[in-house]
Chains A and B, each alone.
Chain A
């Protein structure tokens, strides 16, 4: 059984449809990267999976359970198993670093505060932010905020982690520190869907790569297949253009 099964997914904003039938299957523990030009629907796919954009057609199943995005209970259950890290980090500005990481496990999942806090400190240590527990997000650099956002996501023990262009808003110098954290996570058993423009990173970290264009997945393969020997003309075009830089 596939961990995540997406079949003929359509979604968009109002009358503007972005996804025109995305089908994709992801195995447990797999790191699947989505590449493709801007506007091809990569971020919309992640937003639809986590329920921030309503699908208009198609099905999503997690561990064999179909998700009905119109049902609150389904959505809550889905978000207990899957979480997302955003391009703009989306840390809560009114909470400290530690508060951002602990608020969901303690206040939403009602887990014991002391236990959650110890775990949160360990996670923050792991992403190199252990000494910033009491800082507020706006006093941190983008790279630091993004590492906190990753710790916040990990504190939820997600089965599936969505990473939406997590380095796109960062200074070039800060990209490395965030990628290093993700690299470490890959292969730890969390299923990951990564949207990224860092092609060298995608190639190194992914078990498979999916090429998206115009709201569809045009090709899926191993990094070697996609980057060296793509079958689709659209993928060839895209990778050729990327690697010319």
Chain B
């Protein structure tokens, strides 16, 4: 304990703080960009898989294959696959960009299933009513389906994002200096693991806790519009 205290001033140097914050930023960027894009693409896949247009059948089949594959492969394997697949074709991509693409690939697969479940939960009467009132596909989706589906989509989707904040630590295997990797580097420089990883622990918590609270707030707002 004494050694930890003795190290503290050197540990919390401006340089180290900047180094850890930069790593924290990379963790946030991978999660936020990857999961946001994953939600958008996942929505696209969910809509595609629910469509009944005949000539889209091959696309539906491919989407199903994609979702079932990427939900079953460990994230680390997808990271490594993304690295080896992307580096030859796009050598200018940074490791952070490649890791973010890998997050997007996985988030798309998982969130598409969550969104599909949400859309399926909206009763048939809702979109038949919209159709009879001359709503087009876009208005039906945005004004009727999504607002009602979000109540079902949000809890598992936010749980997925909170979980994925932690899983982005696997990007350290590609050499992305994200939060976990930054702790490791500091410990390797001779700082106490209690100090190095203790700070990392606090930062992960500080990241996911407000996320959970924000999600819970949003859920409450969506789940009970009738009580407002």
Contacts and interface: CB of A to CB of B under 8 A. Distances in A.
Interface in B128-147: 128-135, 139, 143-144, 147
Contacts of A90: 125-126, 128-129, 132
B128 A79 contact: no
A51 B144 contact: no
Interface string A179-209: 0000000000000000000000000000000
B225 interface: yes
A109 B135 CA distance: 10
Given A90-B126, A94-B147, A94-B148, A51 B135 contact: no
A83 B125 contact: no
A92 B129 contact: yes
Interface of B: 125-126, 128-135, 139, 143-144, 147-148, 225-226
Given A51-B131, A103-B143, A94 B125 contact: no
B225 A79 contact: no
21 contacts: A51-B132, A52-B131, A79-B132, A79-B134, A80-B134, A83-B132, A86-B125, A90-B125, A90-B128, A90-B132, A91-B129, A92-B130, A92-B143, A94-B144, A94-B225, A103-B133, A103-B143, A108-B133, A109-B134, A136-B225, A139-B226
A88 interface: yes
B226 A76 contact: no
A138 interface: yes
Interface string A123-144: 0000000000001101100000
Contacts of B125: 86, 88, 90
Contacts of B147: 94
B226 A50 contact: no
Contacts, number: 55
Given A83-B133, A90-B126, 16 more contacts: A52-B128, A52-B131, A79-B132, A84-B132, A86-B125, A88-B125, A90-B129, A91-B129, A92-B143, A93-B126, A94-B147, A103-B133, A108-B134, A108-B135, A109-B134, A136-B225
Nearest to A50: B132
Contacts of A139: 226
B139 A108 contact: yes
Interface of A: 50-52, 76, 79-80, 83-84, 86, 88, 90-94, 103-104, 107-109, 135-136, 138-139, 152, 156
A152 B135 CA distance: 14
Contacts of B143: 92, 103, 107
A92 B134 contact: no
Contact of B226 (A51, A91, A136): A136
Contacts of B225: 94, 136
A76 B137 CA distance: 13
A181 to B, nearest CB: 19
Given A92-B144, A136-B225, A138-B226, A104 B133 contact: yes
Contacts of B139: 107-108
A83 B133 CA distance: 7
A90 B134 CA distance: 14
A52 B144 contact: no
B197 to A, nearest CB: 45
Contacts of A50: 132
Contacts of A84: 132
A3 B170 CA distance: 69
A84 B132 CA distance: 7
Nearest to B145: A94
Nearest to A156: B133
Closest 6 CB pairs of A and B: A90-B129, A136-B226, A94-B147, A79-B134, A90-B125, A104-B133
A82 B126 CA distance: 18
A11 to B, nearest CB: 15
Scoring A93, A135, A139 by chain B CB atoms within 10 A of each residue's CB, the highest score goes to A93
